Chains A and B, each alone.
Chain A
């Protein structure tokens, strides 16, 4: 039957189309969030962080879709500070069951729990919150950004490999810093290393000199350690720590050696091609949130291509199945954890100039997938929303 169709089309000299026309609308829904002031304005956050990745996902899917008669559209809705998030979410869901979300975790859950979202397929592209993948997981919410735990496990694997067994930690006071610090501690425990000292970065008006001058003294009482961890997820003080520590040690975490979903220094496994495409589209480098939004849109595209369907339940089943695989330019096929909706993925450990290593590191084995050595694993997971699948 299929072949007959194809030959018929050939005869009609209409080569490309071998399947019914499918149109897949996707919405990128973003909540603008105020950012606290930071010490340096050297690296502004791009306005289109995240959404630009969806733009590239759209372009990639359209190119593939044109050979199959599949089209995709992307609507980007940005809710200003103080705007009505839930009303905008309802508006988005009226446009499409496929929504890529860019918002803090409580707002994500607000959307996932809407009656309108019951049969929708939502993607979290920007929140690293571990709870969203654990006790607060929702069956209609998938995650393409790695969780904090995936990132910190990746980093600590590297320390194990290097035998940097004792660590110290400086964390900022923001909730994001605290969440990342907590995750770092859990990873240190998971892999059997030792956190020997810990301090909070609480400089205020009492600080008489600039940050860089304070750091040697500030780190003097951390004692002996192999590497210094930084939990500074808002990019406030972390950049002033390296080379200023009391004892000569590498720094890692939010600055120094960073575990990321993506970075402009990733170049292996065909990554250069994607970096080039992104750069051409946006004029800037691709970041983790861009990558996660791209991966969400591409996951949908891959599912549509393989199933020839635009039905949310069909696509969700396929995305969560063993048959699904996404080529994400990180050297391994990527798929989703069927028990909590998290995209499995390698985590590059990067400096500003190079990829130092990519986790999972060699030697960290797992009975299902080596990628599951990163993040909360199924046996310890408190996520039950996916159980009926």
Chain B
């Protein structure tokens, strides 16, 4: 059985292949692999329980998966879909970020109010850092000096010095922060707040708040406009923000922090990932169980792809 799966995987992997988007399905314990050329699901790979965060190593030779209810970060061979080993992740890993050194993985342990730092080579825990309640959003600065954990119930961004692996600042944001990203060459930190309905922009050098992005969709009650994941275009002039149960993406001018557009996608949109040239954006829609493909230039949804139940994370796998 395994042999057949392996053979099939090899067959699929053999020709000059299209890039892929890997989507974790939180309530199916699987990954759906989307072929970017055909925009179809070409593989479904079993994972541990409740897969959420997903990220590839820098050379894309392995993929890391937060299997939250298995209390493990799984390391998978993306060619075969085989789990190579687990990393010690601490309890209930939800989301993580890989340090630019391609070794250290910073993992949010949602149930334990801890950020765990794991060396992916030695497979050992380097540090565990006390953070606020329900840590989730994870980011690391492009130069690798700062890691961020946001905590959903404490409503803070926790700033970690990656040399000492200790907190050096804690900054309040609006209710239920979910996602964090360093932007503009690491000079700004953006943190989305799901219940607060905002993105807070920090000046990284001073950790001071420098701006707030707000949203307003005609015909949608403000309570339902709940920013979660977001991504920026290569020139970092435009940001796309998933607005949860409002079922829309917002298109933001990243310099003025103003909303330029809203794009209707699937239900309870969580996270997103670009293709390699960032012409297409793939959003995970938790409630409708599908992925919306957005044409970035036209700012329009062009296709909906059915995946598993409660798709959560998404990651690009370039194959060329």
Q: Taking beta carbons and an 8 Å cutoff, which residues of A are in contact with B? A: 3, 6, 10, 15-16, 18, 60, 63-64, 67-68, 270, 273, 276-277, 305-306, 325-327, 331-333, 369-371
Question: Which residues on B sit within 8 Å (CB–CB) of A3?
Answer: 206, 208
Q: Provided the pairs A277-B111, A325-B195 are in contact, do residues A6 and B154 lie with their beta carbons within 8 angstroms? A: no
CB within 8 Å of A: which B103-138 residues = 110-111, 113, 132-134
Question: Which residues on A sit within 8 Å (CB–CB) of B172?
Answer: 305-306
Q: Provided the pairs A331-B245, A332-B224 are in contact, do residues A64 and B207 lie with their beta carbons within 8 angstroms? A: no
Cβ–Cβ contact A64 & B153, under 8 A:
yes
- Answer whether residue B175 sits at the interface, using C-beta atoms and an 8 A cutoff: yes
Max chain B C-beta neighbours (<10 A), residue from A10, A273, A370: A273
CB within 8 Å of A: which B134-165 residues = 134, 152-156, 158
Rounded to whole angstroms, the CA-CA distance of A331 and B224 in the bound complex is: 8
- 5 residue pairs of the A-B complex, CB under 8 angstroms, read A18-B170, A63-B154, A273-B111, A327-B153, A332-B223
Rounded to whole angstroms, the CA-CA distance of A331 and B286 in the bound complex is: 14
- Answer whether residue B196 sits at the interface, using C-beta atoms and an 8 A cutoff: yes
A331 to B, closest residue via Cβ: B245
Cβ–Cβ contact A332 & B154, under 8 A:
no
Rounded to whole angstroms, the CA-CA distance of A369 and B222 in the bound complex is: 9
Rounded to whole angstroms, the CA-CA distance of A276 and B154 in the bound complex is: 16
Rounded to whole angstroms, the CA-CA distance of A10 and B208 in the bound complex is: 14
Question: Which residues on A sit within 8 Å (CB–CB) of B134?
Answer: 270, 273
Rounded to whole angstroms, the CA-CA distance of A6 and B209 in the bound complex is: 13
Cβ–Cβ contact B175 & A326, under 8 A:
yes
Question: Which residues on A sit within 8 Å (CB–CB) of B155?
Answer: 64, 305, 327
Shortest CB–CB separation between residue A355 and chain B, in angstroms? 13
8 tightest CB-CB pairs across the interface, nearest first?
A67-B170, A64-B154, A327-B195, A327-B175, A332-B223, A327-B176, A333-B195, A15-B168
Cβ–Cβ contact B153 & A60, under 8 A:
yes
Max chain B C-beta neighbours (<10 A), residue from A15, A68, A370: A15
Question: Which residues on B sit within 8 Å (CB–CB) of A331?
Answer: 245
Max chain A C-beta neighbours (<10 A), residue from B113, B154, B158, B166: B154
Rounded to whole angstroms, the CA-CA distance of A332 and B223 in the bound complex is: 6
- Answer whether residue B229 sits at the interface, using C-beta atoms and an 8 A cutoff: no
Q: Taking beta carbons and an 8 Å cutoff, which residues of B are in contact with A? A: 110-111, 113, 132-134, 152-156, 158, 166-170, 172, 174-176, 194-197, 206-208, 221, 223-224, 245
Of B110, B133, B158, B169, the residue contacting A10 (CB under 8 A) is B169
Q: Provided the pairs A327-B152, A333-B196 are in contact, do residues A63 and B170 lie with their beta carbons within 8 angstroms? A: no
A344 to B, closest residue via Cβ: B223
Cβ–Cβ contact A60 & B133, under 8 A:
yes
Assuming A270-B176, A273-B152, A276-B111, what are 7 further A-B pairs, CB within 8 angstroms? Answer: A15-B166, A15-B169, A305-B172, A327-B155, A332-B195, A333-B197, A371-B223
Shortest CB–CB separation between residue A116 and chain B, in angstroms? 33
Of A15, A276, A325, the residue contacting B167 (CB under 8 A) is A15
Q: Provided the pairs A64-B153, A369-B223 are in contact, do residues A16 and B170 lie with their beta carbons within 8 angstroms? A: yes
Shortest CB–CB separation between residue A281 and chain B, in angstroms? 12
Of A10, A270, A325, the residue contacting B168 (CB under 8 A) is A10
Rounded to whole angstroms, the CA-CA distance of A371 and B223 in the bound complex is: 10
Of B158, B168, B223, the residue contacting A333 (CB under 8 A) is B223
Shortest CB–CB separation between residue A241 and chain B, in angstroms? 33
Rounded to whole angstroms, the CA-CA distance of A6 and B172 in the bound complex is: 14
Question: Which residues on A sit within 8 Å (CB–CB) of B206?
Answer: 3
Question: Which residues on B sit within 8 Å (CB–CB) of A60?
Answer: 133, 153
Question: Which residues on A sit within 8 Å (CB–CB) of B110?
Answer: 273
Rounded to whole angstroms, the CA-CA distance of A276 and B152 in the bound complex is: 15
Cβ–Cβ contact A16 & B167, under 8 A:
yes
Rounded to whole angstroms, the CA-CA distance of A268 and B298 in the bound complex is: 34
Rounded to whole angstroms, the CA-CA distance of A6 and B158 in the bound complex is: 14
Rounded to whole angstroms, the CA-CA distance of A270 and B167 in the bound complex is: 25
Shortest CB–CB separation between residue B256 and chain A, in angstroms? 24
Question: Which residues on A sit within 8 Å (CB–CB) of B195?
Answer: 325, 327, 332-333
Question: Which residues on B sit within 8 Å (CB–CB) of A277?
Answer: 111, 133
Question: Which residues on B sit within 8 Å (CB–CB) of A305?
Answer: 155, 172
Rounded to whole angstroms, the CA-CA distance of A369 and B221 in the bound complex is: 9
Shortest CB–CB separation between residue B151 and chain A, in angstroms? 8
Rounded to whole angstroms, the CA-CA distance of A15 and B223 in the bound complex is: 34
Question: Which residues on B sit within 8 Å (CB–CB) of A16?
Answer: 167, 170
Rounded to whole angstroms, the CA-CA distance of A215 and B43 in the bound complex is: 55
